[in-house]
């Protein structure tokens, strides 16, 4: 690619370090271009490149600001999908339309052309995570983007493997959640909290084993339970919550030690808030919930800063 770029000024090679995700790559690529129009399409020949001149002419004529290659309007087809992928695509499309009020027929399409100036206006509000950049653009625009759909036939994959897996499904749900809550709640935070919930069961299970099977005094058993739970939380968060920033090699040990420190401080924050709430309103479950929420928020914020910080 670099050799081609040296020979042709129209080609630009962008090397990304420490950044993953298709959406982020598309955003960086479009913003790095100086062209008035930008097209996004797969390189596996499943998108029909013969439609590009028609799509571009719609932008140049002013009839549209965004032109989407659609599989789900008259003349379009996605017959190359197997049954499971067709069902997943249909379900995701319906969820996007109902939850986000998206009006186009194929918001999950990865084939579109957009005016660069309009994209620049929306770019600061777009998510760099996940795969559904078009859905993000349309949802962020809130209908204020003149859109035309052009039918095309989705081809069969010739090389490579599909990116569609459970992680992509989580990314999609996270994007929908972020847009519905106006970015107040993120999927990453919910995953972090969910992992924390599993840590509670790990803690209690370890505590029971230490007390009943090994006969340890409660303080030691409690300490072991907390240690095992924090270790479990770190492993799950590294694999699931922060999979795009996953620590590897020796970085895992440093990250684990930093996670122990963050969670230890979070425990003090948890207890402090719980006591404060209980002192004003002696309702045990309310105080406990307030403390737990404070602990989760603290651990999440500090983990992002000191454990899985972007490099």
Please report the DSSP string for 113-127 in residue order.
EEEHHHHHHHGGGS-
Terminal C-alpha separation, the chain = 25
pLDDT category at 61 given cuts 50, 70, 90 is very high
H helices present in 19-124, as ranges: 22-32, 52-60, 83-100, 116-122
Give the mean pLDDT of 200-227.
Answer: 86
Q: Which residue has the tokens 């969910």?
A: 194
Q: With contact defined as beta carbons under 8 Å apart, do 107 and 147 qualify?
A: no
Sheet strands side by side (includes 66-70): 37-40, 112-115, 66-70, 147-151
Question: What pLDDT digit, counting tens, does each position of 111-152 carry?
Answer: 999 999 999 999 998 887 777 899 999 999 988 999 999 999
CA distance 74 to 24: 31
Q: What pTM did the predictor assign?
A: 0.70
Taking the C-alpha atoms of residue 256 and residue 193, their distance in angstroms, rounded to an integer, is 18
With cut-offs at 50, 70 and 90, classify the pLDDT of residue 161. low
pLDDT at 158: 59
Q: Does 188 or 145 have the greater pLDDT score?
A: 145
Q: Which residues contact 118 (CB under 8 A, 6 or more apart)?
A: 65, 66, 145
What per-residue confidence (pLDDT) applies to 284? 64
Which one is predicted more confidently, 292 or 72?
72
């Amino acid at each position: 690619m670099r050799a081609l770029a040296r020979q042709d000024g129209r080609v630009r090679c962008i090397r990304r370090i420490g950044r993953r995700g298709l959406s982020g790559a598309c955003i960086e690529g479009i913003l790095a271009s100086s062209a008035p129009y930008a097209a996004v399409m797969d390189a596996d020949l499943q998108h029909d490149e013969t439609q590009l001149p028609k799509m571009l002419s719609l932008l140049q004529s002013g009839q549209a600001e965004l032109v989407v290659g659609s599989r789900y309007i008259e003349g379009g087809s996605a017959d190359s999908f197997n049954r499971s992928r067709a069902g997943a695509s249909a379900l995701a499309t319906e969820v996007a339309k109902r939850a986000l009020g998206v009006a186009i027929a194929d918001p999950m399409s990865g084939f579109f052309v957009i005016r660069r100036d309009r994209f620049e206006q929306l770019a600061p509000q777009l998510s760099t995570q996940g795969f559904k950049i078009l859905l993000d653009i349309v949802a962020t625009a809130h209908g204020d983007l003149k859109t035309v759909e052009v039918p095309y036939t989705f081809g069969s994959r010739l090389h490579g493997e599909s990116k569609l897996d459970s992680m992509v499904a989580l990314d999609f749900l996270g994007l929908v959640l972020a847009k519905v809550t106006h970015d107040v709640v993120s999927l990453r935070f919910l995953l972090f909290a969910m992992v924390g919930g599993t840590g509670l069961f790990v803690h209690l299970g370890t505590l029971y084993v230490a007390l009943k099977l090994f006969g340890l005094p409660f303080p030691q058993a409690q300490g072991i339970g907390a240690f095992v739970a924090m270790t479990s939380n770190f492993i799950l968060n590294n694999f699931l919550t922060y999979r795009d920033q996953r620590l590897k090699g020796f970085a895992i040990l440093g990250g684990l030690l930093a996670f122990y420190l963050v969670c230890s401080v979070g425990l003090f924050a948890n207890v402090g808030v719980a006591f404060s709430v209980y002192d004003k309103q002696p309702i045990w479950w309310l105080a406990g919930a307030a403390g737990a929420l404070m602990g989760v928020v603290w651990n999440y914020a500090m983990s992002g800063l000191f454990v899985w910080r972007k490099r």
